Structure 1
Amino acid sequence: MARPRWQAQAPRSRSTLTLTWDRFVALWAAVNLLWVGFDLTYIPLRNFWLQRNLYPLQSLPLRVPVPFLPDLTPLVDPIKGIEPHRETQAYLDQFERLDRALQTGTSPPGSPPAAGLPTNGSPASSSTGSFNPEQRRLLEKQVKLTQQMIDSNPFLAANASGTLEKIKNLLRQRADETSAKQAAAELLDPAWLRNHPWSRERIFWREQLLPLVATNYWRSIDENGRPTDHFWFYDLVLFQSVFALDILLRCLRIRRRLPGLSWRDALLRRWIDLPLLLPFWRWLRLVPVVERLQSSGLINIEPLRAVISRGVVAMLAVELFEVLSLQLVDGIQQLVRSRRWPERLRALRSHQSVISPDEQELVELVRIWAPLLLNQVAPRLEPEIQGVLGHALQQSLQNTIVPGPLRRIQLLMQVEQGLSRQLANGMVESLLDVSRGTGERLQRRDDLQLELLQRFIDRFWEELASALENGEALLRSQALLCSLLEQLKRTYLGQINRASIEALIEELEEITLPSPLAAQEAADQGEAGEESDPSGSSRPVVNPKRGGR
């Protein structure tokens, strides 16, 4: 794993105008991403934007109002082709007329008349709590509309049949009835309203039931048979036009930097911007938006990328390495089990690897490396070879020249050491003379020498192949090697399974990432490179050990 790219990252050189434009486009793309997310979730969350209420627990009637959010439905509904449903809108309008009539014409039984309301000649008497014919007609019509709504289910067009079930459940619970139609007739019956004041009943209707009715809508269909959606027009005019201009400018920059690059190749280099221009799969715009925010310097996602890649590596490292290791070991086993070993060894003969008559590869390698080792490397190792050989001769002659009882005499020991040293020097010099002569002879072009070398190499591979064919060494060697590889698969790969990949990654990070102490030392060395004099100019610091001039 390489060092994280966000550490010591060199900034890209861009002009102020280019950087400002890139940041504007990045922010505009982020706004577009939010707008796309809002559009994709508007239909499922339309009830929230209409009522601006949160319901944390669906099983409990707990409501958390969010009044600071604006009502966006009047602006967005025309874009999505949403209109009020005729049946539910007629139901809401009818309830408003009923509410006004009951608030202005009736009073709870036994209560005094409302202030400012006429009592003489009024069709409803507040003392008896009776209802005038107009109020009774409105109540009957409201009951009829409620039953008609239950039968026709106008919420089906908006895929909100569950809302109708909620309305029916509220009616049953309020009237304690098993039928929602009977419950609606009972709740809007004058007898029920005489015992339950309308001031409390209207709270139930307005706060619990009518908001559910108001969520219903009707959505128009376009010529293609799909729901109307004009989002593409605003997206094209406000956002995609800007993105297309920015992509064109980026391609111009690339072609200015690389004049030989074609327009097609320049556009292909900006393939990551393609989702910004697609009218479908708009959620893919997250990728180019994040890339633009990162490249413009507004955000830094490299730490998050490193954490995600670390998790992916931790999950896939063991499986990937196991597969590759098993494939490698199985391939080696198949090669070992092959019956064609003698043929492969014979194929190594020099006359079968000749490219041209004047170039034998293996022989030429011998001619290059042998003089190199004999003429240059071996003479430079003369002191070391003398030391090793002298020590070996001294150990061999230890009990031969000087007997054990006389080894305490220092003069005899010096004579023994000198003799072994002289013998070693003579042998080494002789060997080096032979090696130099051999190297010089190998450097010279000698056809007979080349023929002898080639004959020796060919005979070696031929005799080795014949020995493997005639004896049991080949089968025995194959069995032993395959057993060794099988044991390797069972032991080593099993240990990889039990090993902690996280520990390995942490160890690798400790190796690749600089420690705080090393970073501080590097900073100190950089600061010590220059030293300011009293006049304000800087002069290099002279190393006292090396001196300066």
Structure 2
Amino acid sequence: MPSHTRKVRRRASVWFERILTAIAAADLGLVFFDLSYIPWRDFYVLKAPAALHETYDQLKGIEPYRDTQQYIDRVNDLKTQVALTGIESPQVEAILADLRQRSRDMIDENPFQLANKTGNLERIKNQLRAYIDNESAKDAFQVFWSQDYLKQNWEASIAFYDRELLPNFRTNYFRQIGENSEFIDHFWKLDLIFIAFFGVEYLARTWTISRRIGIGWREAMLWRWFDVFLLLPAFRWLRVIPVVVRLDRSEILDLSPIRRQASEFVIASVASEITETVVIQVLDQLQTSIRQDAILSILQNIEQQQDTYVDLNNVDEVNEISKRLINVSVYDVLPKIRPDLEALLNHTIFSSVESLPAYQSVKFLPGMQELPKRLSQEIVTQFVGALYDGIVGAIEDPIGAELTEKLTQNFAAALKLEIGKPTNLNEIEDLLVAFLEEAKINYVRRSSTNDIELVVQETKRLREAAERRS
């Protein structure tokens, strides 16, 4: 029973939210209609029911322009008079004379200008010039509104007027201007009804949230921050935000895919910007440290830099690196390059023996041509072997190890001394700073060319993979 009651309450709550959402959507639709009414009034006048524009024109302070409306009325009088007395009657001629004069005045005074519809007047003139085949619009009107012309083909001429000219006359209008020098617009009276309704709803929801959760009114108002846009007449188009939120929350539309994609795009964009900033700051810090003689501080004796240099592991890294380089060179590098070293020395000794004058005088004797090759191979093999064994023995022998340690220390000390010289140090610092500057530029360029969509797609792929595994 309690479960059934909860379901009933939830269903009622959902329908209540849907009703409020429908009202908010209707308010938004009315706002968009109002914003579109002036730009699209021609469509509403010509295509929509007449009651629509006749009613809404009053809200916008719009009324038919007197001159163009009188022009339309006179043409209607002409139709009525022709039906009563025929086209060649004096009454018809009087009406036609009036229309000819009105046509001249219309071209001279341009009653379409106030409504920013001068293009309609140009369209009327162009259509009539093409229909009468006369380059002068005034002359074309004089011919068109004449008994001689109309009696030839009254039906076709008046049909042309109704089809091509009348719509341009109908869409012209006069709009009143208020005391504030702005066009009259009474939409706010209609909008005020919705603002009052949603204002009461916003206060009621704030009170409910405050009582249910136990927070202050200010915090409770922030829970429904998006509803504030329903109360701002100056930013009416922003009401699309609360309407979209309400459509999602009332389960009328499922916007979770769009919301997820938008949040992923924003997060990826922000993450890219943050990563780029952090990397550039790190490289900038490295450049600053190098400019402040950080290399010299590292190479100097740590005991003399206790106040400025922080040693984390009580290890002289430069000495250790030098020792490690020697061991790697002896045990790993030399065995791999030994064949190449022997080939190089063999070629050098062979060339030297061949160039000796004594060998030149005896090389034609039997067996002497192979002497340089055998001699160089034997010397190189013995020399390289003895050299390598001597180096390994020196490292592994206690006395040799001590000498190697001394060599390493002296090497590190000499390296520190030489690098610490102003000429060498300045050159190395300049090269490192330039290298870091290039690294920053290339990183920013690569980062700017990365497509955020690719990052979002990769994130989505990894999330789907994780969901499948779980």
Which TM-score band applies after superposition, normalised by the shorter structure?
A: 0.5 to 0.7
Structure 1: which 5+ runs fail to align?
Answer: 1-12, 53-66, 108-130, 351-361, 363-466, 523-549
1:45 counterpart = 2:26: no
Aligned match of 2:199: 244
User: Secondary structure of the equivalent of 2:63?
Assistant: strand
Q: Deviations over 1:3-33 (max 9, x none)?
A: xxxxxxxxxx984444333222222111111
> 2:325 matched to which residue of 1?
none
1:177 is aligned to 134
Q: In the alignment, residue 154 of structure 2 is paired with which amino acid?
A: W
Q: For residue 229 of structure 1, what is the aligned residue in structure 2?
A: 185
Matched residues in 1 for 2:305 and 2:81: separation? 107
The alignment-based identity, stated in percent, is: 35
CA spacing shift, 1:344–1:220, aligned 2, 3 Å:
farther
Which secondary structure does the structure 2 equivalent of 1:226 belong to?
A: coil
Query: Residue 33 in 1 paired to residue 13 in 2?
Result: no
The one of 75, 79, 83 equivalent to 1:99 is 79
Offset, 1:93:
1.0
Change (3 A) 1:245 1:514: farther
Comparing 89-98 with 245-254, which one deviates more in the overlay? Answer: 245-254
Deviation at 1:148, TM superposition (A): 1.5
Residue 81 of structure 1 is matched in structure 2 by 61
1:221-259 CA-to-partner distances (Å, cap 9, x unmatched) read: 22322111111111111x112211221122113212342
Residue type matched to 2:128 in 1? L
The separation in 1 between residues aligned to 2:309 and 2:467, in whole angstroms, is 55
Is the 2:60–2:187 Cα contact (8 Å) retained in structure 1?
yes
Contact in 2 for aligned 1:29/1:289 (Cα 8 Å): yes
Quick one: structure 1 residues 490 and 207, their matched pair in 2 at CA, closer, same or farther if it must change by over 3 Å?
Answer: closer
- In structure 2, the gaps of 5 or more residues are 1-7, 299-303, 313-412
Letter in 2 for 1:346: D
**Aligned-pair distance for 1:346?**
1.3
Q: What does residue 263 of structure 1 align with? A: 217
Q: What is the CA-CA distance between 1:35 and the residue it aligns to?
A: 0.5
Q: Partner residue of 2:108?
A: 151
SS at match of 1:218: strand
- Post-superposition offset of 1:86: 1.3
Q: Say if 2:326 is the partner of 1:346.
A: no
SS state at 1:77 partner: helix
Shift of 1:146: 1.5
SS in 2 for 1:158: coil
Deviations 1:356-377 (A, max 9, x none): xxxxxx9xxxxxxxxxxxxxxx
CA separation in 1, counterparts of 2:68 and 2:450?
A: 66
1:153 to partner: Cα distance: 1.2
Q: CA deviation at 1:325?
A: 2.3
**2:118 corresponds to 1:161:** yes
SS of structure 1 residue aligned to 2:58: coil
CA deviation profile, 1:179-212 (whole Å, cap 9, x unmatched): 21111111111221233x2111110111111111
Distance 1:472 1:232, change over 3 A: farther
Cα drift, residue 330 of structure 1: 1.5
Give me the whole-angstrom Cα distance separating, in 1, the residues matched to 2:438 and 2:97.
90
Could you tell me how far apart the structure 2 residues matched to 1:33 and 1:244 are?
A: 15
Distance change (3 Å), C-alpha of 1:28 and 1:202: same
Shift of 1:155: 1.1
Separation in 2, partners of 1:272, 1:498: 35
Q: Over aligned residues, Cα RMSD in angstroms?
A: 3.6
Give the paired residue count. Answer: 353
Counterpart of 2:70, as a letter, is A
Q: Does 1:253 align with 2:214?
A: no
Q: How does 1:470-485 map to 2 (within 5 A)?
A: 471=417, 475=425, 482=433, 485=436
Amino acid of the residue matched to residue 178 of structure 1?
Answer: E
Please report how far the alpha carbon of residue 51 of structure 1 lies from its aligned counterpart in structure 2 after TM superposition. 0.5
C-alpha distance 266-307 of structure 1, shift in aligned 2 (>3 A): closer
- The CA distance in 2 between the partners of 1:70 and 1:304, in whole Å, is 40
Tell me the SS of whatever aligns to 1:83. Answer: strand
Paired residues of 1:26 and 1:293 also in contact (CA < 8 A): yes
Per-residue CA distance 1:120-159 (angstroms, 9 max, x = gap): xxxxxxxxxxx12111111111111121122221111211
Partner residue of 1:298?
252
Q: Tell me, yes or no, if the aligned pair for 2:287 and 2:436 is still in contact at 8 Å.
A: yes
The residue type paired with residue 29 of structure 1 is A
Q: Determine if the alignment matches structure 1 residue 330 to structure 2 residue 325.
A: no
> TM-score with structure 1 length normalisation?
0.57
- 1:410-438 CA-to-partner distances (Å, cap 9, x unmatched) read xxxxxxxxxxxxxxxxxxxxxxxxxxxxx
